[in-house]
Amino acid sequence: AKKILEVENLQVSFQTYAGEVQAVRGVSFHLNKGEVLAIVGESGCGKSVTAQTIMRLIPSPPSVIKNGSIKFDESVEITTLSEKRMQKIRGSEMGMIFQDPMTSLNPTMTVGNQIAESLIKHQGMSKKQARERAIEILKLVGISNPEGRVKQYPHEMSGGMRQRIMIAIALACSPKLLIADEPTTALDVTIQAQIIELMQKLQEKTDSSIILITHDLGVVADMAHRVVVMYAGKIVEDGTVDDIFYRSRHPYTWGLLKSVPRLDTENKSELVPIPGTPPDLFAPPKGCPFAARCPYAMDICLEEFPDNFEINTGHHAACWLNHPQAPKVDRPEGLGE
Ligand code: SF4
Ligand code: MG
């Protein structure tokens, strides 16, 4: 399969008055064409920083890419690209959908003009062509009366509708890569389900390649093909959706599955939060970053960062429990499947 994105040993830090925060600590993954890859983890795990680094949206300083490579569309090295070329790629070859459309939509411009603007800028359409295409795209994202809606401003619309507009803008230029960072978090549950359904339909229809950043495993189960689980700036497990939901081999993933509400389950009473907090990324521990919260932690976990054990083809877990000599621990029951 064609690799739309290949991230190798990515390290990103933030320079602060208090010192250097190691937000992303050597992350490697890839995205095939037509694939939806979910990156999951608690807030502060580095998932958003990874996404924003791929689009080069974080100013430097304070952020610094310390090491690694981000290869886009098999040829473009993103980490060293000039800002000028990056601007061309953003909005035409890469699109992004954020959590809160209000902060990314322009409040002083009609939504029709906002969609048209990117088509004129990136695809060289005439005003008239862009206007017609904007109406088509609004239809595509399920907005009724698009001819009337193009004349409206973001504040005249509901949260769900604004998110549809964001998706419309992101899709307007048919980007090769779409990054959705918590696309439904700010919406109520019914609207969340509608937006996910919309994204899923559009993904299938256009065979787009999507990176979905979320802490919501319900969204993951519905939309993603593969999953990367991040903790404290590292990937701790990766595999197919089924690997992660039914065969996961990392205690942090088990904790996530038990602690996070899912859209498709009504029963929220059995949610068990993971006790404790993630480690301080000013001075990350030398061993397993999850050791302080892990009920299975062994001596070696405090001393050495775990190897990335291959569980099966395409399924890896960075946890010492997968060492052949480790005590046998069964995956807990009732993880929500
Ligand atoms: Fe727990 Fe050790 Fe596995 Fe880390 S390596 S998740 S501390 S068992
Ligand atoms: Mg985030």
Question: pLDDT tens track of the chain, all 337 residues?
Answer: 899 999 999 999 999 998 999 999 999 999 999 999 999 998 899 999 999 999 999 888 889 999 999 999 999 999 999 999 999 998 789 988 887 777 778 999 999 999 998 889 888 899 999 999 999 999 988 899 999 999 999 999 988 899 889 888 888 878 899 999 988 887 887 888 888 888 888 888 888 899 999 888 888 888 899 999 999 999 999 999 999 999 999 999 999 998 876 555 555 556 788 889 999 999 999 999 999 999 999 999 999 999 999 999 999 999 999 999 999 998 887 775 4
Mutate to test the pocket of ligand 1, among 237, 254, 286, 294 (most ligand atoms within 8 A of CB): 294
Token look-up 């990335």 returns 308
The torsion region of residue 2 among left (phi > 0), alpha (psi -120 to 50) and beta comes to beta
- Residue 212 backbone class (left: φ over 0; alpha: ψ -120 to 50; beta: rest): beta
Is the shortest distance between the CB of 321 and ligand 1 below 6 Å? yes
Q: Classify strands 234-240 and 309-312 as parallel, antiparallel or unpaired.
A: unpaired
Among all bound ligands, the one having the nearest atom to the CA of 42 is 2
In this structure, the residue with its CA closest to atom 5 of ligand 1 is: 319
Distance of alpha carbon 181 from alpha carbon 98, whole angstroms: 5
Q: How far, in whole angstroms, is CA 131 from its chain's centroid? A: 31
The structural domains of the chain, ordered by start, are: 3-102+181-322 (3.40.50.300)
Token readout for 150 is 């193009």
Q: Which atom of ligand 1 sits closest to the CA of residue 329?
A: 8
Q: Give the number of the ligand closest to the Cα of residue 288.
A: 1
pTM of the model: 0.92
Phi and psi dihedrals of 136, rounded to 5? -60, -45
Q: Which residues surround ligand 2, an ion (CB under 5 A)?
A: 48
User: What is the Cα–Cα distance from 51 to 65, expressed in whole angstroms?
Assistant: 13
- Mutating to test ligand 1, I would choose from 296, 303, 316, 325 the residue with most ligand atoms within 8 A of its C-beta, which is 296
227 touches ligand 1 (CB under 6 Å) = no
